[in-house]
Amino acid sequence: MSVTTQRTPVIMESPYKGDVARNEAYAKRCMRDSLEKGEAPFPSHLLYTQVLDDTKSDERLMGMTAGFAWIASSEKTVAYIDYGVSGGMQEGIRLARDMGHEVEFREIGVNPKK
């Protein structure tokens, strides 16, 4: 196996708030799907929630704005929508479109592959 940097950087959107355990498991499946498509996904909602409390509005905003700062560095935004489009996802999609970035909607199914 050789190391390559030929992956497409993408912002990955999927629901987080609500059923957090289900949504984290789903986001991990989405991340794998993106990696298998040759992309380098950036799921800020999985990263920043490791150090910020998503239930506190000021920390949620801090994490969201930090994640949105990466849009300019990405090729496109990929939104996984099997569980719907959350408010945070809507904001990321809106910002990506405002910046002229492509937004691709994907479904991988709500049940994990056995």
pLDDT digits (tens, 9 = 90+) for 61-108: 999 999 999 999 999 999 999 999 999 999 999 999 999 999 999 999
In a domain, 113, yes or no: no
Average pLDDT taken over every residue of the chain: 93
Over residues 12-41, the mean pLDDT reads 96
Q: How many domains does the chain have?
A: 1
User: Other C-beta atoms within 10 Å of 65: how many?
Assistant: 13
User: Is residue 114 scored above 90 in pLDDT?
Assistant: no
> The tokens of 38 are what?
């040759």
In a domain, 35, yes or no: yes
In a domain, 112, yes or no: no
What range does the domain containing 31 cover? 8-106
- CATH number for position 101: 3.40.50.450
In a domain, 75, yes or no: yes
pLDDT at 113: 60
Report the predicted TM-score, pTM, of the whole model to 2 decimal places. Answer: 0.89
Three state DSSP letters for the chain: CCCCCCCEEEEEECCCCCCHHHHHHHHHHHHHHHHHCCEEEECHHHHHHHCCCCCCHHHHHHHHHHHHCCHHHCCEEEEECCCCCCHHHHHHHHHHHHCCCEEEEECCCCCCCC
In a domain, 111, yes or no: no
